[in-house]
A = this chain, B = another copy of it.
Amino acid sequence: MKKLQTSRRKLLSLAGGLATLTACAKKETPTELGKPLSKYGDRSPHETSVRTLPPADSPTPSTGSSRTPLQDSYGIITPSSLHFERHHSGVPDIDPAKHQLLLHGLVNQPLMYTLDDLKHFPSVSRIHFVECSGNGRSEYSAALGSTPQASHGLASCSEWTGVPVSALLKEAGLHPDAKWIIAEGADPCHLTRSIPIAKIMDDALLVYAQNGEPLRPEQGYPLRLLLPGYEGNTNIKWLRRMMASAEPAMTTHETAYYTDLLPDGKARQFSLDLEAKSVITRPSGGQKLTYGPGAYEITGLAWSGRGKIARVEISTDNGKTWKDAEMQQPVFGKAFTRFRLMWNWDGQATSIRSRATDETGYLQPTGDELADARGRNYGYHNNQIKTWFVKADGSISHDEHV
């Protein structure tokens, strides 16, 4: 660790320290008690970091997305209150006592489960990210995301608790011809996606809890299909039905949406894995290096839908050279990985960026590499390296020319 400069910290003379102590001592007798105990706490009114919403004049405020303020994040857990949202017809109000899950189709015994039934199964808890496949869409355009929230805020990470879907399929008896599970939500539009059976049997969960308490309404309360590493919309919220099928259902959201039109005019369909990605969250666009030249911590988040992050590198010289960042331990598979690196800023204009490598050996690409491979005909699955530009006055921007 490099020595931090102390220029802006108050160096106290012993006399100064004693004066402060005297001032403290005068307050030693409490004059007024603080706020009382409470049943369910809230954050400080001094804290104002929020999810960003669509414009206030949106004709459909229920749909669309809100973004996690990643520039204000710490560690790897996203507070449930700030977990990004992506709704296709708003958040339904569901009474958990009445909610049921139907499991049917190519099974020996169709079954209906209440929430209590699902909690009666052996439970598992895992830390995983969820990410909208549209996260990073801004980076395909000229109007690059100006903050980590704007560029990468459609990703969040929680400790989820629930039951493996495979346990239910074992109980129902899966027919050998079943190759897909058609999962349907109880939101007004009944968002429905087809999931390969191999993924379901591998690590799919039916989750009823998030970060130690029941799922939040925006995350599918009371029941969500969690598909670690798969694009967000397939993690069906407000889950009410799973049908085993020989074929995918070819629903609206896997034909008209969530496909990737390639340069040759063909489209990638069921491009479900989210590839390795990273973003520096601090210092980042809109922030400032307020302590002048000297030591700063660069920190950010990396994740991959294909497993653990194996390496995160940071360049502070416009991509010329790279240094390995330290990764917060332990590293979880298909989860946010917090990375950190101390940087001694020389006070000159430069740019900083990160790139992640996952345990499959896949290296996060540059924007040009991504465009060469897949073109720019669609807005999903953009995992290109994100650059922040540092000016000599310490201000940081998403745009070299701002």
Contact = CB atoms under 8 A, between A and B. Distances in A.
A149 B382 CA distance: 46
Nearest to A18: B104
A214 interface: yes
Interface string A82-126: 110101011111111100101010000111111011001111110
Nearest to A46: B96
A35 B91 contact: yes
Kindly report how many copies of this chain are found in the complex they form together.
2
11 contacts: A17-B104, A30-B89, A34-B92, A34-B93, A37-B53, A38-B51, A44-B217, A76-B212, A77-B159, A120-B291, A124-B328
A81 B212 CA distance: 10
Given A32-B188, A187-B34, A95 B63 contact: no
A75 B330 CA distance: 16
A4 B95 CA distance: 25
A216 interface: yes
A211 to B, nearest CB: 5
A218 interface: yes
A143 interface: no
A115 to B, nearest CB: 11
Contacts of A39: 50-51, 53, 66
A43 B213 contact: yes
Contact of A75 (B33, B75, B90, B209): B209
Interface stretch (A54-62, A134-142, A255-263): A54-62
Interface residues of A, number: 118
The 4 closest A-B pairs by CB, nearest first: A34-B90, A30-B188, A75-B125, A74-B209
A342 B121 CA distance: 9
Interface string A233-274: 000000011000000000000000000000000000000000
Given A31-B188, A35-B62, 15 more contacts: A1-B167, A8-B117, A9-B114, A14-B110, A33-B90, A36-B61, A36-B62, A37-B65, A37-B218, A38-B66, A40-B82, A43-B214, A75-B125, A122-B342, A125-B328
A38 B218 contact: yes
Interface stretch (A20-28, A354-362, A365-373): A20-28
A335 to B, nearest CB: 12
Nearest to A31: B188
Contact of A35 (B1, B41, B211, B217): B217
